[in-house]
Amino acid sequence: MSRFADRIRHQFSDAGSAKRAGLILLVLAAFSVVGTSAWAFWTTFGSGSASATTGTLNVPTNVTVPGTSTGTVLVSWTGSTLSNSTPAQGYYVTRIKNSDSSTAAACASSAGSLIAGPSCSDLAVPDGTFHYTVTAVYLSWSATSGASGDVTVTSSIATTTTVSSSLNPSVVGQSVMYTATVTPHSGSTTPTGLVTFKDNGTTITCTSGTQTLNGSGVATCQFTYSSVGTHSITAVYTGAGSFTTSTSTSLAQAVNQASTTTSVSSTPNPSVVGQSVTYTATVAVSAPGAGTPTGNVEFFDGGTPIATCGGATGNPLSVTTATCSQTYATVSSHTITAQYLGSTNFNASAASASLTQAVNKASTTTSVSSTPNPSVVGQSVTYTATVAVNAPGAGTPTGTVTFKDGLSTIACTGGSTTLSLGLATCQIAYTGVGTHSITTVYGSDTNFLTSTSSPAITQTVSQASTSTALTSSVNPSVVGQSVTFTATVAVNAPGAGTPTGNVEFFDGGTPIGTCGGVTGSPLSGTTATCSVSYPTVSSHTITAQYLGSTDFNASAASASLTQTVSTSLAIAAVFNDHGKIKVYFTGTGAAAYTAITVTICALNSFPCANSISVSTAGNPPAGNWTSGTSSKNLDEGTTYYAQAVQGTTSSAVFSFSPPP
């Protein structure tokens, strides 16, 4: 009442207005009837007469609090208005402790710090039992509610934390979800805050889940283990608000080896003899496991470990694969399997499904070469066939090669048609000029396919060169004697064979007419002949030339031969005839009426000392005797030597002993 009076006195400070003073007294009298909730105000300002209206500030009602709380109390109420429905300017809330009726400002409000209402949260309330009042304020006036119900505040609530695993035991690479549940020991409020998951005291870096408690007091942590082991798992609730921290009992999480499977593939398949084949084993971790296995993979051929791929030890994995490279030397079929041998964290797999590796014949290429080319008639030609294995195959073919001339098989006279280190040879000598289309056919073997050389090579066979040699049947010859010239035609190396055709004979460069002239005389075997006789003493330069044939070149002229034609002078007998020496001739002289001198020596050496000479007056005919006077007789029983000389012609030495 005093605060309201002060307000009135302030508004009516003009002492000169008796009417207003009287009105003030009237209003004050009215307040004494209404009570502490009444109020009055002037509706206008100024001098003169005025009237005053009274009204009521209603108290807040339905002040409500929860029965229990953990430190924060929610206070709510029904708002207050003036009697003309104007709302209160604000509110302040008072907390009263039941045990000693002590009061405290609540919701951070006071008469000087109003809140809008109609609810607020009273934070950090100490433990105890309390009730609340709410005071409405309008200008300088207030109206306080009745007391709320009691609220018991317990700010520290003990909790229990438990932890569980979604899968125990798990395997390497398998995702495990740990679930922590935080339960309060009292009250129905669900704890909030964070949970830390630990493995042997070390905080787990969760890969998923939420470590913040949800509305049910549950937090989760997902984690995947990359190795075998046992893990002591705890969940630590860090506390929040009135809820105290708590740690779960430990959970033993067992992580076992993950299972695996192995598959095997081949590149290429089928392969060919000599080709490198790569087997690839892929090791997969079986769900729910995961990760990258380490260790080795063993490769088997027909159940036997492949020695070149590590044997029983196997070949090492690189990430998830291991490889094994093999080369097969024969046509064959192989049953291939692979098995992962396991490691600390991964179980060995069962053997893979089998793979059948087919090894087929490798293809070949055959080529042929010739030495020499061109060749000549009779020359030995060597054909060489080379059989090569085509990539990706490899190896050394065996078997035989057929050499062909056109469509006909060559009857090789030398070489070997059986392959040796991929080579075969065929030797042949051609007897005639011509060209030959040569191919070779490899007949294949158990591991390599047949092939024919292409394109064919052309073997050219040319004429062989020749040379001619000349001989005389008798040289020197005598007048009238038959002389046979023989020309021998030889085939020059490397050619060979027996030439055919004619040989032309020349006397001083002029064809001998009686021996075929320019046509020549025919060869018989390798020789041709020409027979002539000369009527006079003379000298002849004889040559011969082979005229050639289809298969043999004409030769150059032979070396010249000088044919000498002389007399037929010869001594048949010499003896004493009564002081005369008689000589008997068997041939004719060189020319008529040419004297002949016979020299007789005691030794076969001409000229000689003490010779005996007998001369004829002319050229005696054959079979005639001539005699001459000698200065001495020939001794009986003594051997003498006689030689006749007619001009430049000498007879053979004649040996004789005169009879008694």
Dihedral over alpha carbons 183, 186, 192, 196 (to 10 degrees): -40
> How confident is residue 55, by pLDDT bands cut at 50, 70 and 90?
confident
Give the SS3 label for residue 39.
strand
Domain of residue 71, CATH code:
2.60.40.10
- With beta carbons less than 8 A apart as the criterion, state whether 571 and 602 touch: no
How confident is the model over 131-144, as a mean pLDDT?
A: 95
**pLDDT the model gives residue 27:** 36
Mean of pLDDT over the chain: 88
Residues 597, 560: one domain?
Answer: no
> How confident is residue 481, by pLDDT bands cut at 50, 70 and 90?
confident
Residues 411, 456: one domain?
Answer: yes
> Which residue bears the tokens 């018989």?
524
> How confident is residue 473, by pLDDT bands cut at 50, 70 and 90?
very high
- Check the CA dihedral 284-288-292-296 and report its sign: negative
Top pLDDT among 188 and 521 is at: 521
* Residues, the chain: 660
Residues 109, 127: one domain?
Answer: yes
Range of the domain at 622: 571-656
Nearest to 592 by CA among 566, 558, 626, 617: 617
- With beta carbons less than 8 A apart as the criterion, state whether 561 and 487 touch: no
**pLDDT the model gives residue 588:** 52
Average the pLDDT over each of 112-116, 454-458, 514-518, 637-641 and give the range with the smallest value. Answer: 637-641
Residues 188, 130: one domain?
Answer: no
Phi, psi of 173, deg, nearest 5: 85, -5
Q: Could you tell me the end-to-end alpha-carbon distance of the chain, in angstroms, rounded to an integer? A: 225
CA distance 529 to 544: 10
How confident is the model over 631-646, as a mean pLDDT?
A: 79
What does each C-alpha distance from 339 to 300, 320, 466, 482 come to in angstroms? 8, 13, 79, 105
- With beta carbons less than 8 A apart as the criterion, state whether 568 and 482 touch: no
**pLDDT the model gives residue 414:** 96
Residues 470, 560: one domain?
Answer: yes
How far does CA 141 lie from the centroid of its chain? 99
**pLDDT the model gives residue 9:** 37
Residues 493, 559: one domain?
Answer: yes
Q: Which of 536, 566, 596 is the last residue of a domain?
A: 566
CA distance 116 to 83: 19
Burial class of residue 510, CB neighbours in 10 A (0-12, 13-18, 19+):
exposed
- Confidence check: pLDDT of 31 > 90: no
Residues 38, 90: one domain?
Answer: no
**pLDDT the model gives residue 611:** 79
Domain of residue 493, CATH code:
2.60.40.1930
- With beta carbons less than 8 A apart as the criterion, state whether 419 and 399 touch: yes
Domain count, the chain: 7
Residues 45, 30: one domain?
Answer: yes
Residues 585, 544: one domain?
Answer: no
Supply the pTM of this predicted model. Answer: 0.61
Q: Which residues contact 355 (CB under 8 A, 6 or more apart)?
A: 264, 265, 266, 269, 279, 335, 336, 337
Residues 277, 219: one domain?
Answer: no
Residues 180, 215: one domain?
Answer: yes
Identify the bridge partners of residue 435 per DSSP, sorted by sequence position.
Answer: 460
Q: Which of 256, 273, 306 is the last residue of a domain?
A: 256
CA distance 619 to 601: 22
Give the SS3 label for residue 26.
helix
Q: Which of 226, 256, 286 is the last residue of a domain?
A: 256
**pLDDT the model gives residue 388:** 98
Domain of residue 580, CATH code:
2.60.40
Identify the bridge partners of residue 524 per DSSP, sorted by sequence position.
Answer: 527
Residues 149, 219: one domain?
Answer: no
